[in-house]
Structure 1
Amino acid sequence: MKKAVQFGAGNIGRGFIGALLSQSGYHVVFADVVDKIIDKINEDKTYTVHVMDVECEDQKIENISGVNSTKPEAVDEIASADLVTTAVGLVILPRIAPTIAAAIEKRMADGNKEPMNIIACENAIRGTSQLKKAVYENLSEEGKAFADEYVGFPDCAVDRIVPPVKSENFIDVVVEEYYEWDVERASFKGEIPEIKGMTLVDDLMAYIERKLFTLNTGHCITSYLGKLRGFPTIDAAIADEEIYDIVSKAMKESGDGLIKKHGFDPEKHAAYIKKIIGRFKNPYLQDDVSRVGREPLRKLSPTDRLISPLTTAAGYGLPVDHLLVGVGAALHYDNPEDKQSVELQAKIKEQGVREAAKEITQLTDEKLLDAIVAEYEKLA
């Protein structure tokens, strides 16, 4: 039987990628540091994905096991796997790289020349490429040559809202019906696996940016404005007419930049925006604004969901007024339980809004920086 190792047994790992792999006939080994979750997976050998949307459905996920990702057993599991996927967050990828590298070295030592593919399913641009770089830093020269020949690292774009809704069984997961998993065709090694819900694409960057600068851009602006207005959840925030207006116009501004850059069909992209913003209204998800807004420094970085669509659209001379509101709102994100939020607010207090924004976003356009400060002050 085919085997996949899914790094990250959190809600996204269980509710999205791990579930699809199980439904595609893989035995899925969840690798995580949380022993409580791993022990429960090994005890029950099943969990339920509750699809909560216009139509609701319960999906029983079976043929699973778990392993602590810091233990030697994790290396053994990867070394005998056909596929490795991740849903751990971009900052964690370098931490799991040594384990993956050790497994590749073991495959080489064992003479296992069956192709293995590794896909980082993260909300980031070319997350797999970033993981590959970290893995290769931990490989011997012989291991690198072996990986070059037998280990594929396809990049991908993923999209599914999986909020931290508590279930009676703590490993059950609540998800929305919609999902998208676009994977780069050319980077696979060996025969491309048939996986439910996985779409093979040739121009991946267009799909990555379409998702990141539509869903993620709109989602985080909704969260930051919602938190400022005192709304607890995304669906409550987007129900506010003024927030809806700002978010929808920001998504259009981002979309106009994408249409120019990638040649998207304007009508189809407008329909895509409408579908995405409609997902924010799903009352079943109860997605907390603090969760969606977490790690603001990452989200305000030059290549991420706020600044990149801003500079892309501005670079084509297109309006960016509502994207600027989103950046101003992000700078207000104040959550004592979020390390990056604490650091953000400390920077603003020490340096002032303009200098802090300049350092974090790496913007050099003085007019854009002035406009961000103006929007920040309007929201104060």
Structure 2
Amino acid sequence: MKAVIIGAGKIGRGLIAGICQMNGIGYSFIENDGMLTAQMQKERQYLLHVLERRERVISMKTAEIWSLEDTEAAERAILDADLIFTAVGGKHLGEVGEYLGERLEHILTERSCSRPLNIIVHENWKYTERDLHEGIRKILSPEKRELFEEIVGINMALSMGLSVEPPDEESKKTEPLGIWMQDRWNIFVNKALWKGDLPKIKGVGFVDHFLQLQNQALYTNNASSAVISYLGRRKGYQYVAEAARDPEIERIVDEAYQEIETALIRQLHVFPKDQREFARQAREKYRDERIHDTVVRHARDPIRKLGPEERLLAPARMAMASGIRPTALAAGIAAALYYEDENDPSACELKHLREEKGISAVLQEICGLEEGCELEKLILEQVQNLFCQDKKMTE
């Protein structure tokens, strides 16, 4: 079995390459960053630091890595592959879809119909399969589209661990390609969308009720990381683990887990035991001080994360529909509404909209709330609480 990994960042050369290596799956990379490509071609190997009770170090070979511009090499690799993984960031999926569409247009007829190709999309993005699928079909000719639908499967992947790049300046100098990751070697894939026989790959689990799992991940893991990060940013924390261990933030996040649990049990009918385990793992993950994951990384793109079907608003609305007031989630939303980072275009746009039209307009236009609804009132209460807390901190 062979794989192509599109994106040689911390997930690509960390979790995904690690799973390939442990299963004896040959793999190569396709990468957009010219400097990273050149560095990996030069170094040829790097270390994967697995953070368990005692750190375990795995030596990783970079194998072959191609730039996006080397289309002939990419097409040869894809033609020979059984699996394609993407780890590029959700907002780039449309572009990656078009890139794959161009490659598949040239090589699809050379693949045997009895040899399917499965694309595993490892992105923290709600519409992964849709965006990639539309990008590919946009490029393919009508004839190739039919063949594409027959032999190519597109699947979203979920994983519960965190991976980061070198945690300090010394490590950056000595191990610029090194990856530090939690000891969680699991990728969950939608069983129903897989093309062909299910392979036995250690670390890859094929799930029947994937949509429920996806929602649990978005509304538990992603919601809690957002609450931690937006509140942590206001307190000046740099790392997620620091913010998660702040007593006041910890209390709010624990309350948010309870609100999410009630909402998902009553609205999505998840099993209480499973949901509590989800929350336990999320709490443990974000409090792990060995993982130097930044608040800014988790908080970036606040306009998307404040969307009506996204990680904060969706569970808050479900909680309201379940008869509870999601005060903790509302506190996270309030902090997100006032998130600022001059290096984040989304945060700058949010600030402009807030100053130009007012916070109620943001709640209606970005969050999709009706003017005067109970959730809007609750969020505005939490906005006032934030300002009161800020005032106390400066006194």
Give the shorter-chain TM-score range.
Answer: over 0.9
Shift of 1:343: 0.9
AA aligned to 1:234 is V
2:349 aligned partner: 343
Aligned to 1:89: 89
Structure 1 unaligned residues grouped into runs of 5+: none
CA–CA distance in structure 2, aligned partners of residues 138 and 347 of structure 1: 35
* 2:30 and 2:68 in contact (8 A); partners too: yes
One-letter code aligned to 1:367 = E
Partners of 1:302 and 1:327 lie apart in 2 by: 11
Q: Is 1:292 aligned to 2:291, yes or no?
A: no
Task: State the alpha-carbon separation in 1 of the partners of residues 299 and 360 from structure 2.
Answer: 21
TM-score normalised according to structure 1 size: 0.94
- Deviations for 1:283-324, whole angstroms, at most 9, x for unmatched residues? 111221111111111111122211111122222223311111
- Cα displacement (A) at 1:180: 3.6
Bigger Cα displacement from structure 2, 125-134 vs 297-306: 125-134
Task: Report Cα offsets for 1:315-335 as digits up to 9, x if no partner.
Answer: 222331111111001111111
Q: How does 1:106-125 map to 2 (within 5 A)?
A: 106-113=106-113, 114-125=115-126
Shift of 1:336: 0.6
Name the structure 1 match of 2:50. 51
CA distance in 2, matches of 1:254, 1:349: 31
Comparing 85-94 with 358-367, greater Cα deviation is found at: 358-367
Give the equivalent residue in structure 2 for 1:178: 184
Instruction: Find the aligned partners of 1:372 and 1:197 in 2 and give their Cα distance.
Output: 40
- 2:162 paired with 1:161: yes
Distance 2:220 2:317 in 1: 15
Q: How does 1:1-380 map to 2 (within 5 A)?
A: 2-62=1-61, 64-72=63-71, 73-113=73-113, 114-166=115-167, 167=171, 168-364=174-370, 366-380=373-387
For residue 14 of structure 1, give the secondary structure of its aligned residue in structure 2: helix
Alpha-carbon shift at residue 111 of structure 1 (Å): 4.7
Relative to structure 1, is the Cα distance of residues 106 and 245 closer, same or farther in structure 2, using a 3 angstrom cutoff? Answer: same
Render the CA deviation track for 1:44-89: whole Å, top value 9, x for unaligned. Answer: 3322111124332112223622111243132332232211111111
Amino acid of the structure 2 residue aligned with 1:86:
T
Give yes or no for contact 1:101–1:138 (8 Å, CA) kept in 2.
yes
Shift, 1:370, TM fit = 2.2
User: Which amino acid is 2:198 matched to?
Assistant: I
d(CA) in 1 for partners of 2:361, 2:109: 52
CA contact (8 A) 1:129 1:155 kept: no
Structure-2 separation of matches of 1:27 and 1:261? 43
Structure 2 contact 3–81 (Cα < 8 Å) conserved: yes
Instruction: Judge conservation of contact 1:97–1:135 (CA < 8 Å) in 2.
Output: yes
Q: Determine if contact 1:119/1:154 at 8 Å carries over to the other structure.
A: yes
Q: Which residue does 2:393 correspond to in 1?
A: none
Secondary structure of 2:98's aligned partner = helix
Q: In 1, are the aligned partners of 2:165 and 2:178 still within 8 Å (CA)?
A: no
- Give the CA deviation at 1:179: 4.8
Aligned-residue RMSD, C-alpha:
1.8
Please state how far the C-alpha of 1:170 moved relative to its aligned partner: 1.3
Letter in 2 for 1:158: S
- Report the Cα offset of residue 165 of structure 1: 2.9
